[in-house]
Structure 1
Amino acid sequence: MKAALFLFIFCLISVLPAAADISPAGEAGTARISDLYSDLESFDVTLFSDQPEENLSLEVLLVRIEGLNEETLGRQVFSAGSFPANTSVMKVGFWNFRNPERGAYALRAKLLAGEKILSEAKYDFVYGSNSASRLQVNDLVPNSQGISIALSPKEASLFDIEYMLVDNSNVAYFTKTEKLSLTSAPDIFSASWGTLLENNKEYTGRVKIQVYSPDKEFISSTENFTARDDAEISDIFKDETGASATVFGRSQVPFEGILIFSVYELEENSKKGTQRLVESSQARVPVLLNNDDETIEVAWSHRLTKGVYRLEIELLGNDGDVIEHRETILESDLSQASNVSAVNNSTSGTEASSGKRIPGFSAAASISGLAAIFIYLRKQS
């Protein structure tokens, strides 16, 4: 009889959409739970306050429902932090179940100020029901630039996607795209992080999808990643006077790297093809974020004479590690004699403009002065 009753309840829950039951407690105007969601991988609780709040805590329980009995599978308590007035704050947590059992589950959440319950809520859901989801998550890839998810439709669907950057239990960045659609072919949906990341720090990328009809349905997926500074050399220019490289940012970790330009002369007569370092120069790259670019230029201390050179460019990251290494050939047609002549011409031009007298200037000035005196004396007479 009990088995039949449990089977009836389980089937009834399986055909009903997951739902949240929110029952605020305490006085009106205090902080409260405004929304919550859970599956067996992760959960989120949205908090709201009409006035600033501090020193609050959030208690979350995951329970498994078996007939009229409940078994507590997990409990988490963490600080809810401070609340600015009229602002929603989302807290995220994660479960770790290797072999979950099919059945009915519930998330119970309490917002506490000390021992006082300000608000409590419950979210019921079913794991492993026979009702198949209308969308399937094929892959999820978060990285230092943003997050991408590959979805396949089992039937035409209209849905929203929430993208979250999670730092411990805090949502460091949140963005939402509404009224997306899939009809028959798989597709990839992406979002860029709109906040700065810390180098070598671990974050979690989380996506929550809401399908509209025939019943409201949620799907979530999470994946961890470590934020890294990253950039690439997108363009190079070089000649006998200098070189330049354009650096393109590929991360929301502020990139503060260095470019090193090294020129090696290729010894034509050497049997072993040895190379002689002619010059090496380095320059700091201005701070870059994702999709930013800067062109950095260096000038050689002297023009490269006729010959073939190997130009080596290394891009170093924030930690001094080599992000990218590029090599190219530089050929100069400038002979030793023309190089010396160019230097001499430059020196002569400098002397001409440095204030030396132009021949004939003193004589012309003297003649003009005598003519003026003669005209003046003639008028007097």
Structure 2
Amino acid sequence: MPKALTLLVCVLVVLISLPLTVGADDTGIRIVDIYSDLDSCDVTITSTTTTTDLVLRLELLYKGNILDTQEIGIGSTKPNTDIMKVVLWNTDETKDGQYSVSASILKDTEEIASTKYDFVYGSRTIPRVKVDDLSVNSQGFSIMVTPQEAVIFDLDYMLLDGDEVVYSGTEKKIGLHTTPQEISKDWNILLTNNKEYMGRVKIRLTTPFSAALAFTEPFVARDDVIITDTYEDEIGASATIEGRSQVPYEGFVRFRVSRSTGETEGEIIDEQEARSPVLLVADDETVEAIWTQRLEEGTYKLVIEVVGNDGDVLDRKERIIEAEAKPVNTNVNTSTEATNNQTPWISVPSTLVLLAAVYLGMKKKQ
């Protein structure tokens, strides 16, 4: 469990002073928002000009002592575009009291903007909401929030690639009265297989005073699908698979038929592999396989495996096929018998036409 969750009972971050940027009038660079606790810090920067080669310097302080220093490179800024950066603090300090964050933006070692942010850590503050659990994975995040009293809050969520925010969103005016509520959202961008990301969720309350709680959880993005339905008979089999990850699934489905010998797998009769279309979260597709030969009468064991991008088995289901004997075709005999019962060389309509022709011929001769 993340440290932020373990210490939640006694942690509440309270905004003491609003960010006040120095030097923004000269450069067009401003720090417009900053939030921090003892685990992490996020800073939002805006600019009225295009500027390159900036450095964001952050210091975490307690009673004037520097606990940690982080520096982040900012390649460039675009006019009227916000940039958010996130750092994880490297400190074991957990003393009650007031902490400070000093944020500075440097250009060629010269400070062009700065601000200070204070927050309180400790048991002297009582949170109005409690986070019971947070789950972050390749699909998205789920958070369980329990109110300590009736409350309305905003929920910010973001996906981090290192210190860069690659996806973010906000759910506004979430109301809780007495019962816990689960809040879930999917990442709506493509993720890279086997790459490490971080999910960050922040709860913001504005009344009767401004306060926030933030949680950051790392995860490794991996492709993921499940089997939701199957069909099988003597001719072939199919499997419906559903995507559960924002990593594009590009694997295949393996169908293996063997003689049924109870719990063990007997002689393999047939094995087929069918490639799946690319799947993401909530996408589904039915993949089919046809046996090389129709299965003879008997009982067979079918194993269906979904194989992932890295060759690992993501899901597996076992089924039984009770193959019936191939039906005997009796259509040939019936057809032959019907043919024998017909007039050997002429039908009734043909006879009428012939008689009419003879009659007309005789009338012309008269």
Q: What pairs with 1:249-328 in structure 2 (closer than 5 Å)?
A: 249-266=243-260, 275-328=266-319
Query: Residue 196 of structure 1: SS of its match in structure 2?
Result: coil
Query: CA offsets, 1:7-53, max 9 Å, x none?
Result: xxxxxxx9984222322315456232111111111100001122333
Query: CA offsets, 1:87-145, max 9 Å, x none?
Result: 11100001133341112111111112212322211111111151312111222111111
- The answer as to 2:156 corresponding to 1:158 is no
Alignment gaps of 5+ in structure 2: 1-11, 333-344, 351-356, 358-363
Paired residues in the alignment total: 329
Query: Residue 22 of structure 1: SS of its match in structure 2?
Result: coil
Between the two proteins, what is the percent identity of the paired residues? Answer: 41
Q: What pairs with 1:203-214 in structure 2 (closer than 5 Å)?
A: 203-214=197-208
Q: Which residue of 1 aligns with 2:32?
A: 34
Are 1:62 and 1:105, in contact at CA under 8 Å, matched by a contact in 2?
Answer: yes
- The answer as to 2:91 corresponding to 1:97 is yes
Q: 1:45 aligns with which of 30, 43, 46?
A: 43
Are 1:242 and 1:298, in contact at CA under 8 Å, matched by a contact in 2?
Answer: yes
Alignment gaps of 5+ in structure 1: 1-13, 346-358, 365-370, 372-377
Q: Which residue of 1 aligns with 2:60?
A: 62
TM-score w.r.t. the length of structure 1 is 0.79
Q: What pairs with 1:163-174 in structure 2 (closer than 5 Å)?
A: 163-174=157-168
Q: CA deviation at 1:180?
A: 0.4
Q: Which is further off, 247-256 or 111-120?
A: 111-120
> Which whole-Å CA distance do the structure 2 matches of 1:274 and 1:89 have between them?
57
Question: For residue 301 of structure 2, what is the amino acid of its counterpart?
Answer: R
- The answer as to 2:333 corresponding to 1:333 is no
Q: Which residue of 2 aligns with 1:8?
A: none
> Which whole-Å CA distance do the structure 1 matches of 2:302 and 2:133 have between them?
41
Are 1:58 and 1:109, in contact at CA under 8 Å, matched by a contact in 2?
Answer: yes
> Which whole-Å CA distance do the structure 1 matches of 2:158 and 2:152 have between them?
20
Q: 1:16 to 1:325 in 2, by over 3 A?
A: closer
> Which whole-Å CA distance do the structure 1 matches of 2:94 and 2:260 have between them?
65
- The answer as to 2:102 corresponding to 1:111 is no
Question: For residue 32 of structure 1, what is the amino acid of its counterpart?
Answer: R
> Which whole-Å CA distance do the structure 2 matches of 1:224 and 1:16 have between them?
25
TM-score w.r.t. the length of structure 2 is 0.82
> Which whole-Å CA distance do the structure 1 matches of 2:117 and 2:132 have between them?
26
Question: For residue 101 of structure 2, what is the amino acid of its counterpart?
Answer: L
Are 2:14 and 2:212, in contact at CA under 8 Å, matched by a contact in 1?
Answer: no
Q: 2:211 aligns with which of 198, 213, 217?
A: 217
> Which whole-Å CA distance do the structure 2 matches of 1:16 and 1:137 have between them?
17
Question: For residue 48 of structure 2, what is the amino acid of its counterpart?
Answer: D
Query: Residue 20 of structure 1: SS of its match in structure 2?
Result: coil
> Which whole-Å CA distance do the structure 2 matches of 1:17 and 1:260 have between them?
56
Q: CA deviation at 1:179?
A: 0.2
> Which whole-Å CA distance do the structure 2 matches of 1:273 and 1:322 have between them?
19
Question: For residue 46 of structure 2, what is the amino acid of its counterpart?
Answer: F
Q: 1:18 to 1:139 in 2, by over 3 A?
A: farther
> Which whole-Å CA distance do the structure 1 matches of 2:264 and 2:66 have between them?
73
> Which whole-Å CA distance do the structure 2 matches of 1:274 and 1:213 have between them?
64
Q: CA deviation at 1:257?
A: 1.1
Q: CA deviation at 1:200?
A: 1.8
Q: Which residue of 2 aligns with 1:187?
A: 181
Q: 1:280 to 1:106 in 2, by over 3 A?
A: same
Q: CA deviation at 1:197?
A: 1.5
Query: CA offsets, 1:229-286, max 9 Å, x none?
Result: 1110100011221111011001111111111111113379xxx987322211101111
Query: Residue 21 of structure 1: SS of its match in structure 2?
Result: coil
Question: For residue 18 of structure 1, what is the amino acid of its counterpart?
Answer: I
Question: For residue 325 of structure 1, what is the amino acid of its counterpart?
Answer: R
